[in-house]
A = this chain, B = another copy of it.
Amino acid sequence: MVVERNDRRPTLEAVAARAGVSRATVSRVVNGGAGVRPAVRERVARAVAELGYVPNSAARSLVTRRTGAVAVIIGEPEERVFSDPFFGRQLRGIGRELAAADTQLLLLLVESRADRPRIGRYLAAGHVDGALMFSLHHDDPLPSVAARAGLPVVYGGRPGWAGAADDPGVRYVDTDNRDGARQAVRHLRERGRRAIAVITGPPDQTSAADRLAGYRDALAPGAADPRLVADGRFTADGGEAAMDRLLDAAPELDAVFVCSDLMASGALRTLRERGRRVPEDVAVVGYDDLEPAAWTDPPLTTVRQDVTEMGRLMARMLLREVADPQDAGPAAVVTPATLVVRGSSG
């Protein structure tokens, strides 16, 4: 292939000629493909790709002021985004739903505070029809930037900044973290465990706060003990270190509820190194039911949340608001959590 730079946009006619079909067929394919045979549709799609044809939607967007693109913003450094399978799952759900609406997903990474003003300008400058934001910490300035720019936003996880709970304009998809945590701790109690520790996520994320609240709900009366609580920062290394601190502070503990599978994989490393058998000496329950849960030895009892489905719901909610802000639907959707019992809890 020789690279030819070309400023002229290819036309519908050029696509039709290349695909060997009529203009009307190209137009039908480009506008959804109804009533066109799969083989022909494929031929036209190939010609569109090869010629770099930009169909009417671009021209239409000049009228509708739609861009056909949605920003996804994850308020975590790349290091976490690309090592925690949670994000890949959620993006898969979002991507599929947006693709079905012929909308381009643009992932904007936030590595440091310094990135936020630039991202704020990008969001405010009209490049996207809306944004999906998740894993934001309470003090993140991007929600207010988006709000001031009038940009539709759907949050992944209930936003936790002051006033968010009372603001009908804040729209989000969440899972019932508090109930999931309750199920985990009740299960450990049913298995006869008495000194149940918890490894939490960062306290300024609502998912972490809700899971900690659920843990407290389900403890036996009087069983709360500050020595049994440690922050694992939602990372594998953090879970490893938190388990170490818990065993130092409360060597008698016989169970631990770990608020993510990734942290649980780290906690299991520490338990193995310190000679505690799982589940005989210490029963372990994780949260998420992502890949690490199936890989651990023994396999991890955990709380399942359907992350891909949450991504789809977020995208669907946003597309609905973009299509008609007056009929945006419910402001919040909360999906259920389900305990999955495996070997690590006995």
Contacts and interface: CB of A to CB of B under 8 A. Distances in A.
A48 B79 contact: no
Nearest to A93: B78
Contacts of A149: 6, 52
B145 A50 contact: yes
Contacts of A83: 85, 88, 291
Interface string A289-324: 001000000000000000000000000000000000
A21 interface: no
Given A82-B87, A117-B48, A5 B102 contact: no
A127 B69 contact: yes
Best-surrounded residue of A55, A58, A78, A81 (most CB of chain B within 10 A): A78
A58 B2 contact: no
Contacts of A333: none
Interface in A124-156: 124-125, 127, 141-150
A95 B78 contact: yes
Contacts of A169: 2-3, 5
B91 A2 contact: no
Interface string A37-52: 0000000011011111
A223 to B, nearest CB: 35
A220 interface: no
A29 to B, nearest CB: 10
Contacts of A52: 120-121, 123-124, 144-146, 148-149
Contacts of A108: 104-107
Interface stretch (A160-168, A188-196, A201-209, A243-251): A160-168
Contact of A88 (B46, B79, B114, B119): B79
Contact of A114 (B78, B79, B99): B99
Interface string A271-286: 0000000000000000
A45 B163 CA distance: 24
A169 B169 CA distance: 49
A6 B121 contact: no
A121 B55 contact: yes
Contacts of A78: 88, 91-92, 95
B45 A164 contact: no
A272 to B, nearest CB: 11
Nearest to A7: B150
Contacts of A141: 46, 49-50
Given A49-B120, A88-B81, A167-B3, A107 B104 contact: no
A10 B148 contact: yes
A233 interface: no
Nearest to A4: B147
Interface in A69-83: 69, 78-79, 81-83
Sorted nearest first, the 6 A-B pairs with minimum C-beta distance are A82-B88, A3-B169, A107-B107, A5-B150, A52-B148, A52-B145
6 contacts: A5-B169, A52-B124, A57-B121, A79-B88, A82-B87, A106-B106
